[in-house]
A = this chain, B = another copy of it.
Amino acid sequence: MSSTGYQGESVTSLESNSASKVDVLALLERGRELSTPLLREVVDRLAPPMDTVAAYHFGWIDAAGNPAAGDGGKAVRPALALISAEAAGAPPEKGVPGAVAVELVHNFSLLHDDLMDGDEQRRHRDTVWKVHGPAQAILVGDALFALANEVLLELGTVEAGRATRRLAVATRKLIDGQAQDMSFEDRERVSVDECLEMEGNKTGALLACAVSIGAVLGGADDKTADALERYGHHLGLAFQAVDDLLGIWGEPAETGKQAWSDLRQRKKSLPVCAALQAGGPASEKLAELLAADAKSVGKEEEGLTFDEEEFATRAALIEQAGGREWTSEEAKRQHATALAALEGVDMPDSIREQLTALADFVVVRRR
């Protein structure tokens, strides 16, 4: 396996599965276009200076307050929420409040996680707590979470109540996942199963909610919504497996984060857990180094500040122990499980093709 470049051909080969008729970038663009007006409208409700801080976070203005073109992320979740409405036979517009609510919860968690993790960069820009201070990061995160519930519940429908309940459960799982993720940093060893549970909470739950919330707003029954959630859950795990690879081997210029960011934060991500669980000389050497790292930093320490070579050594050991290969394969397994979950759902073929194409996109993204 090559140690340069990202992923090799193993995941890329999935591209041949994708329904070539589907224009994924157009679907993402539609999600952004249909959801942004409502997102901006509700963010504008915030009292100053929270409206400005939120606008900075979303990339609508720069740190000086001037309008910015803005990289608000890929907006996979809004796109999924609209397709989700269509999966239930409703027009995509029906999914818009769900798309906005999920996007608000996602960004609430980014604001708080960046502060808790001490991350200084996101989407190639300084994070909110770096620019506006920790208090604003906390407060605006809280406000986005409150807005998420508000934007759904002001619909005043039974479906909105069901959608908000699913969002509340997903949000709590997301918070559970962050708690697990942080607690793993202080442990020498975490099993692959524990890591998958954490990632299912931290990433799977909200993606699952995005894929089901449009359908719920569109009047789908629980069986359909649950099947869509399963697709989203496994898609989230596939997405996170790719993210874990990027967290170690990704280029800062492409990821928008610091180099070795996951190793720096002592994250027990999938490649690390798989490598530790594999056994053998590289695995044992890695375990020794990580145990020494854990002892060398205090709990209040934000991260490790080794030089490049020391991170490179750890990355190489993870790879030698098979952690990189296993994670890459796991992304493919989760991708396949996600697609299998769609088989039980009665929906138009064109929608199934879109969900298939989006799954492919999520796994091969950012190469």
Give Cα distance in the complex from A183 to B133, angstroms: 13
Number of copies: 2
Residues of chain B lying within 8 A (CB to CB) of residue A201:
47
Query: In the complex, what residues of B have CB within 8 A of residue A169's CB?
Result: 150
Q: How far is the CB of A324 from chain B (nearest CB, A)?
A: 28
The CA of A45 and the CA of B171, in the complex, are separated in Å by 13
Q: CB < 8 Å: which of B116, B149, B153, B164 contacts A138?
A: B116
- Mask of A12-55 contacts with B, CB within 8 angstroms, 1/0: 00000000000000000000000000000000011111100000
Against B, the Cβ 8 Å flags (1 = close, 0 = not) of A114-144 are: 0110000000000000000111001101110
A140 to chain B, nearest CB (A): 8
**Quick one: which of A185-223 are within 8 Å of B by CB?**
201
B175 touches A139 (CB 8 A): yes
Q: State the Cβ distance, A101 to closest chain B Cβ, in Å.
A: 11
A167 neighbours in B (Cβ, 8 Å) = 149
Q: Are A46 and B299 in contact (CB under 8 A)?
A: no
Given contacts A133-B299, A138-B138, A179-B139, whether A156 and B165 have CB atoms under 8 Å apart is: yes
Contact in complex: A176, B133 (CB < 8 Å): no
Given A135-B182, A179-B139, A299-B133, residue A154 in contact with residue B165 (CB < 8 A): yes
A41-78 interface (Cβ within 8 A of B): 45-50
A-B contact pairs, 15 of them (CB 8 A): A47-B179, A48-B183, A49-B183, A116-B134, A139-B182, A143-B179, A145-B146, A146-B168, A146-B171, A146-B172, A146-B175, A153-B164, A156-B162, A158-B158, A161-B164
Across the A-B interface, give the 6 residue pairs with the lowest CB-CB distance, nearest first: A161-B161, A153-B165, A149-B168, A47-B176, A146-B172, A116-B135
* Contacts from A to B (Cβ < 8 Å): 45-50, 108, 112, 115-116, 133-135, 138-139, 141-143, 145-147, 149-150, 153-154, 156, 158, 160-162, 164-165, 167-169, 171-172, 175-176, 178-180, 182-183, 201, 299-300
